[in-house]
């Protein structure tokens, strides 16, 4: 049996299979990640949730309650059309008037105000191309533990320094792999945060999305150790 497997390996059958596998693997992983995201969205917004039921009721008003699946997707189309229409109106001069009315309404509700304010600020920041807030973010290396301990590539949200007790800290976003957006915010002492100016945010995302497989292509050369050559006689 062992000799049979060795002959198969040497014949190139396994190598050819692995070549095809690694060629198609990026596509498979991309589809898997998209499927995972769609699954999470369905769990949060699909039929059986409050928003999914609202969409189904909107569709049922047109096609009737006989087919809940058709009613749901019709409700989704109606919602998308409504969002597009809202975007068309907002792009006109009515934008500031609508924004003031919405902010004024939600600002009167204490609990809603505490959530809506920060969320609206972040969404506005991300929606502005070339905004100074986004430009202020940079890639850093965070050291955890003593000198020479483990380090992690992260995203410095702003150069602001926070005094937490006796420690001066930066607020740093720590991504996770393979979905960097599912990370968390951590206050890290300033002496444990080192800037990495020659690594872009896009490069950082590529490292995490690829589970580190693209690190050697993205990381600055100064972080890559050259293989040692044998100088012995």
Q: Residue 130: what pLDDT?
A: 44
133-151 burial code (b ≥16 CB/10 A, e <16): eeeeebbbebbeeeeeeee
Backbone angles phi, psi at 174, to 5 degrees: -100, 105
Domain that holds residue 190: 136-220
Q: Based on the fold, state whether residues 140 and 206 are members of the same structural domain.
A: yes
Whether this prediction's pTM lies above 0.85 is answered by: no
DSSP state of 199: S
DSSP state of 39: H
> In 10 A of CB 193, how many CB atoms?
16
Helix extents (H) in the chain: 2-10, 13-45, 50-63, 68-90, 95-106, 110-127, 132-135, 201-209, 215-218
pLDDT in tens, the chain (233 residues): 556 555 655 566 666 776 777 677 777 777 887 787 777 777 777 667 777 777 777 777 777 766 677 777 778 788 888 878 777 776 666 667 777 777 777 777 777 766 766 666 656 654 544 444 445 578 999 998 777 778 899 999 888 899 987 889 999 989 888 777 778 889 999 999 999 988 888 888 888 888 888 888 888 888 887 655 544 44
Would 33 be classed as within a structural domain?
A: no
Instruction: Look at the alpha carbons of 105, 109, 114, 119 in this order and tell me if their dihedral is positive or negative.
Output: negative
- From 127, 147, 177, give the residue that closes a domain: 127
CATH for 184: 2.30.30
Q: Based on the fold, state whether residues 82 and 147 are members of the same structural domain.
A: no
Would 36 be classed as within a structural domain?
A: no
Q: Based on the fold, state whether residues 76 and 142 are members of the same structural domain.
A: no
Q: Based on the fold, state whether residues 141 and 216 are members of the same structural domain.
A: yes
Cα 28 from Cα 178, distance rounded (Å): 14
Q: Based on the fold, state whether residues 72 and 122 are members of the same structural domain.
A: yes
Cα 24 from Cα 26, distance rounded (Å): 6
- From 127, 154, 183, give the residue that closes a domain: 127
């Amino acid at each position: 049996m062992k000799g049979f497997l060795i002959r198969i390996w040497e014949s190139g059958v396994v190598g050819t299979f692995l070549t095809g596998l690694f060629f198609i693997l990026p596509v498979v992983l991309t589809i898997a990640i998209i499927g995972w995201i769609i699954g999470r969205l369905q769990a949060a917004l699909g039929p059986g949730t409050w928003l999914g039921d609202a969409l189904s009721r909107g569709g049922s008003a047109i096609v009737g309650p006989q087919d809940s699946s058709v009613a749901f997707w019709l409700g989704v189309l109606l919602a998308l059309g409504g969002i597009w229409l809202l975007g068309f109106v907002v792009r006109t001069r009515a934008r500031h008037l609508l924004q003031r009315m919405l902010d004024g309404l939600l600002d009167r509700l204490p609990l809603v105000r505490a959530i809506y304010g920060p969320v609206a600020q972040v969404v506005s920041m991300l929606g502005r191309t070339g905004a100074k807030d986004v430009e202020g973010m940079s890639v850093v290396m965070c050291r955890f533990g003593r000198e020479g301990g483990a380090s992690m590539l992260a995203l410095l949200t702003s150069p602001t320094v926070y005094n937490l007790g006796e420690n001066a800290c930066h607020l740093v976003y720590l991504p996770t792999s393979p979905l960097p957006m599912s990370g968390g915010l951590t206050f890290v002492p300033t002496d444990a945060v080192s800037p990495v100016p020659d690594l872009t945010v896009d490069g950082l995302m590529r490292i995490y999305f690829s589970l580190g497989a693209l690190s050697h292509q993205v990381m600055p050369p100064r972080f890559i150790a050259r293989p040692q050559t044998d100088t012995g006689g």
